[in-house]
Amino acid sequence: MFRATACHVLLTLFILFSSVLSAQTPQAQTPQQVQVGPPVRTIEPPPPDASAPQLEATADNLRSRKAYLEALDYFRAALAKQPNNAQVYNKIGIVKLQTFHLDEAKKSFERAIKLNKKHADAYNNLGVVYYEMKKYGKAIKYYTKAIEINETMASYFSNLGAAYFSKKDFEKATNAYAQALQLDPEIFERTSRTGVAAQLPSPEDRARYEYVMARLYAKMGRSDDSLQCLRRAMEQGYKDINLVYKDAEFTTLRKDPRFAELMAAKPPAIPE
């Protein structure tokens, strides 16, 4: 009887202890899943009573704020009211280019050109598409066409120089860059992070680019900019840096004490 009672008590204690452990042990939880829905549009759709210019202006504002989906909605609404507006097709192409939909961007720029054969920006932008596709010959063709229509745009010459540089036609690249600088002396400062130097794949090409720019700046008498580019060329490991002692463009710069200091310091090449 005692044994039976003792066994019963032990069994009861075991059950109670197991219940406490079970209550303290975290239970396996049902896996939580996240479902990604379509992009949330925070802008009201284009109002049906807005004029085409109003819709285009709103789209311009949205594009500047990088609200690309909403901008496209407004540009398309503007086109619905003015179907043959080359400028709006060009702007749609820019949005497609900014979102890297290159084939769609190409079609939009081609449509703009078809509607307006003198649309210099559309030719230039079509050149950008081909440049991004690494079809540099076609890029040069369209940049050149843009320049034929409007010779006052520094960005056209800068883009042309980038395409020539990517084809390793350094003489023509230098000439195009020189023209860009003549039209806009600050153009490369504004595009230093997104220009050709940022897109060149190898340190050797980037080093060559920096040397070319140093030579251009030296020729223009912009010693500070030239020295900065020379430093970057050396940091990128430019192999022909000693040409700086022979190239005529550096004649004046070689008399600057900072030039001697830079060449004596020999900034080490920065590894990739």
* Banded model confidence at residue 267, pLDDT cuts 50, 70, 90: confident
Q: For residue 215, name the pLDDT band (cuts at 50, 70, 90).
A: very high
Q: What is the largest CA-CA distance in the chain?
A: 116
Q: Is the dihedral of CA 157, 161, 167, 172 positive or negative?
A: positive
Exposed, middle or buried by CB within 10 Å (0-12, 13-18, 19+), for 21? exposed
Asked if 161 contacts 180 with a C-beta cutoff of 8 angstroms, the reply is yes
Res 19: pLDDT = 45
pLDDT beyond 50 at 139? yes
Q: With contact defined as beta carbons under 8 Å apart, do 143 and 160 qualify?
A: yes
User: Confidence band (pLDDT; 50, 70, 90) for 5?
Assistant: very low
pTM (two decimals) = 0.77
**DSSP letters of the chain?**
-HHHHHHHHHHHHHHHHHHHHHHHSPPPPPPP-----SPPP-SPPPPTT--HHHHHHHHHHHHHTT-HHHHHHHHHHHHHHSTT-HHHHHHHHHHHHHTT-HHHHHHHHHHHHHH-TT-HHHHHHHHHHHHHTT-HHHHHHHHHHHHHH-TT-HHHHHHHHHHHHHTT-HHHHHHHHHHHHHH-TTHHHHTTTTSHHHH--SHHHHHHHHHHHHHHHHHTT-HHHHHHHHHHHHHTT-TTGGGGGT-GGGTTGGGSHHHHHHHHH-PPPPP-
Per residue in 45-87, pLDDT (tens digit) is: 999 999 999 999 999 999 999 999 999 999 999 999 999 999 9
Burial label for 270, CB within 10 Å (0-12, 13-18, 19+), is exposed
Q: Which pair of tokens denotes residue 14?
A: 């075991």
Q: What's the CA dihedral at 184, 187, 189, 195 to 10 degrees?
A: -160
- Are 211 and 240 a contacting pair, CB within 8 Å? yes
Q: What is the mean pLDDT of residues 90-113?
A: 96
